[in-house]
Structures are given as structure tokens and as C-alpha cells.
Amino acid sequence: MTDTATEPSRRTSLKGSRGGEAGDRVFSGLALTAGIVILLVLAFVAVFLLIESLPALWPEAFSDQDTIESADTFWQYVWPLMAGTLIASIIAILLATPVAVGIALYISHYAPRSIATPVGYVIDLLAAIPSVVFGAWGMTVLAGAMVPIYAWLNEYLGWIPLFGGTPTTTGRTLLTSGVVLAVMILPIITSLCREIFLQTPKLHEEAALALGATRWEMVKMTVFPFARAGIVSSIMLGLGRALGETMAVTLVLSPGIFSWSLIQSGRNATIPSEIALNFPEAFGMRQSELIAAGLMLFIITLAVNMVARWIVSRHKEFSGAN
């Protein structure tokens, strides 16, 4: 053991070379650059979408045409699409939320541990199935299964505009799309809610049980007040996902003009499916129209996600999770 070999890093004085410090600077610079890249990418998303959609948003100024191709003005073109997108997503939320909260509760507070873990895996499995597969399933299996239900709804509840008109014979309607979307966002809402339910302070729960509460009363007294903000924000995140979901709707829905009836084929369309169906063959003004529609979708989902984050941050100090 020679001294020179064993003491390469040894110094006798504090002053002198600061070897290796460059490594620190280079690496922290790299890490910072990566962060900046992310911000730039996001800025580019907004700017590029805006630039490419300007001809459709304002044809007089940014193109050599006076109007867009599909309608007189962009708003006339886009509002039925926005309405369709929102309606399908709201159907999905209405259907998925109770079930998702129920499953989350089942996993966190009802099922025995030996069942809760596999159920958690099953939910994750559901989340992993690609959307195009859900779309194919919705188109071939679910749509057919929904036809008798639509006939029944039309016969008995046809006086409600939502179920009016001539019911579909293929089942490829906005309501079917909403059901497929519900199945797709179910695992998202479930896993978010499960996380939050599991964070309920054990002491609160035990205090409730010690006071003689039944399990449901315990859930009502401790879990829900604790998790309210979290449930709302997971619903909003699920909504954001449903708004942007493309393939399922594209495959299931047979699109058309806007209609209040949810059980007719060849009615309604959503922004993502409109883009997916038409973009591959679009060029020039049509392409701008579709990109502009995408920009609208971006703004809507952004707003929904912002509201979700805002709810979470507003309630953070009361959640006790930190």
C-alpha cells in the first residue's frame, strides 16, 4: 500500500485545485436545459397550433379565401363539434363517477386485503388496454347490444328530446360513445380516488368506529369529507381525458349534424373524431380548420385541467395529507 496510490483524493491544504467542479456545472446546466426544453415545447404547441389555425380563424386576413370551406364562419363550423364533445364526455362522467367511486371504496375500505390487491391489478389492466381496442369493441359488441335499449328508451321516454327521433338500428350513436368513454375513464378515476381514500387518517376512521359507527357511517363521516376535493379533481381529470379521447369515438360514432337526440345514428360529432376522420386527407384550408378545432379542444381540456388543479391546491391545506 503506497501512499501515492491510496491517497489520490487527499489534500493537505484547503486551497488549490477545484478538480471536478466543471462536472457539477455541466451537469446542472444540462438538467436545467431539459427543463427549459419542456417549457419551450409547450410554448411551441400553443404557438404552432395558433399559427397553423389562423387561416381558419380569420380567413380574410390570413388566407386568400373569404370564408372557410365547411361553413360560413369558423364558429358555425366548430360549435356543433364542441357541443358533441362536451355531451359525450358528460355522459361518460355521469356513468363512470358513481361506479369508479364505488370501486375505489371497495378496494380501500370494503374488500378484504386478499381481494383488494388483485382488484387493483385488474383496474390497472383496464387502464392499459389501448383506446383503439376499446373503439373496436364498442363498434362491434357494445353498439349492437345497445340497440334494444335505445328502442326501449325511445318507446317509453321518447318525449324527452334526448331520446327522441328515430332510434338507431346500428347502435353507433353519441350515447354509445359516451358509454365507451365511461369504461375508458373508469380506471383513471378509480385509481385516483383509491389513492385519496387510502390517505384518510387511520385515527379518524378508528375514532368513528370506536364511537359505534357502522362502516358506511364511518365512510360518510371520515372518508368523504377528507376526500371531497380529491374526488372532484379526479372527476375533472377524467373529464379532461374523455374530452381528448379520439379513437373510441371515431370508431363507434357514425357522425353527422348536431342533434339533441342521443340515440340516432348519423348525428353529432366530436372534435377529436372529426380531426381523426378528416385530417389524413385534408390540405390547405381544410387542414387549418381541423387544426383550429384542435386548438379549441386544447383550450377546453386546459381549462378543465386547470380547474382540477385549482381545486386540489385550494384544499391542500385542509387535506391533512401533508
The region of 115-123, 159-167, 169-177, 255-263 touching another protein under the rule CB under 8 A is 115-123
Q: Whose grid coordinates read 381529470? A: 237
The region of 195-203, 221-229, 243-251, 259-267 touching another protein under the rule CB under 8 A is 243-251
The region of 46-54, 73-81, 168-176, 200-208 touching another protein under the rule CB under 8 A is 46-54
The region of 25-33, 61-69, 71-79, 202-210 touching another protein under the rule CB under 8 A is 25-33
Site size with another protein, rule: CB under 8 A: 104
Among residues 49, 192, 235, 262, the one that binds another protein under rule CB under 8 A: 49
Under rule CB under 8 A, residue 27 binds another protein = yes
228 vs 32: CA distance, rounded Å: 37
Among residues 35, 66, 114, 210, the one that binds another protein under rule CB under 8 A: 35
Nearest CA to 298 out of 46, 40, 90, 41 is that of 46
Q: Judged by CB, which is closer to another protein: 260, or 298?
A: 298
198 vs 9: CA distance, rounded Å: 49
73 close to 60: Cβ distance less than 8 angstroms: no
Q: Which residues contact 81 (CB under 8 A, 6 or more apart)?
A: 269, 270, 271, 274, 293, 296
267 beta partners: 257
The region of 67-75, 191-199, 227-235, 301-309 touching another protein under the rule CB under 8 A is 301-309
Q: Which of residues 201-230 bind another protein (CB under 8 A)?
A: 214-217, 219
Q: Judged by CB, which is closer to another protein: 97, or 168?
A: 97
Write the DSSP string, 190-232: HHHHHHHHHTS-HHHHHHHHHTT--HHHHIIIIIHHHHHHHHH
The minimum distance between CB 119 and another protein, in angstroms, equals 7
314 vs 322: CA distance, rounded Å: 14
189 close to 100: Cβ distance less than 8 angstroms: yes
Q: Judged by CB, which is closer to another protein: 21, or 317?
A: 21
Among residues 57, 81, 105, 175, the one that binds another protein under rule CB under 8 A: 105
The region of 42-50, 62-70, 159-167, 256-264 touching another protein under the rule CB under 8 A is 42-50
Q: Which of residues 136-165 bind another protein (CB under 8 A)?
A: 136-137, 139-142, 148
The minimum distance between CB 160 and another protein, in angstroms, equals 19
Q: Which residues contact 187 (CB under 8 A, 6 or more apart)?
A: 100, 123, 124, 126, 127
The minimum distance between CB 123 and another protein, in angstroms, equals 8
Q: Judged by CB, which is closer to another protein: 52, or 69?
A: 52
Under rule CB under 8 A, residue 257 binds another protein = no
Write the DSSP string, 123-158: HHHHHHS-HHHHHHHIIIIIHHHHHHHHHHHHHHHT
Q: Which of residues 119-138 bind another protein (CB under 8 A)?
A: 119, 122-126, 128-137
SS3 168: coil
Under rule CB under 8 A, residue 28 binds another protein = yes
Under rule CB under 8 A, residue 244 binds another protein = yes
Find the angle CA(82)-CA(312)-CA(94) to the nearest 5 degrees. Answer: 45
Find the angle CA(193)-CA(197)-CA(201) to the nearest 5 degrees. Answer: 155
The minimum distance between CB 36 and another protein, in angstroms, equals 9
